[in-house]
Structure 1
Amino acid sequence: MEVKQELPNATTTLILGISSLITCFCYGIPGLILSIIALIVSKNSKKLHLENPDMYTGYENLRIGRICAIVGLILSSIYALFILLYFIFLGSMFLLLPESQNIN
């Protein structure tokens, strides 16, 4: 009987995925970075599991971490886009103010 090994980086992917969800509303940047790292780290582990599924345990952590990372990536992207559009709108409003009302 083979001793099953823990899938490498499954826990790391889970932690990074959850962290990307937690930080996705910090202007979007930390969530984007963490979710991209989680997806990159999980790619190799998923390949290892698919090559030999009977040898590794912990695929559930990898799968849940990938799902959290994907959701974090989507939310962070939407929030970062919203913040960018807000600053563009705010900048254009300052350009429309008459010179006497500009804040120096």
Structure 2
Amino acid sequence: LLAFAAGGTALMALVSGWATWLGRMLSLYWYRELVADAHGSYVHGKTLYAANNIHAGVDNMDQRVAEDCRLLTTTMGQVLYGNGSDSAGVIRIVFECCLHA
């Protein structure tokens, strides 16, 4: 029984590490695709010019779009796969429920 518990712990550590890595890779992929799509829409026509000239206090719209995309994709990766420390993502929680069922 102790060997099974140790094996389960090792398996959970492996799954947790894999899920964290996968979450980060998917976050990077989602980020790249989202930024490309957002910037494609942003520079279409005169949108870039209009967005930068709406108000004098609005500047660096392309950086703001990229930062929002980064925050969105990083958060989604953490929700789904965890962040590698003490928080568990949805995938890990489902796996643990199946393991203990």
With the length of structure 1 as denominator, give the TM-score of the two structures.
0.39
Larger helix percent: 2
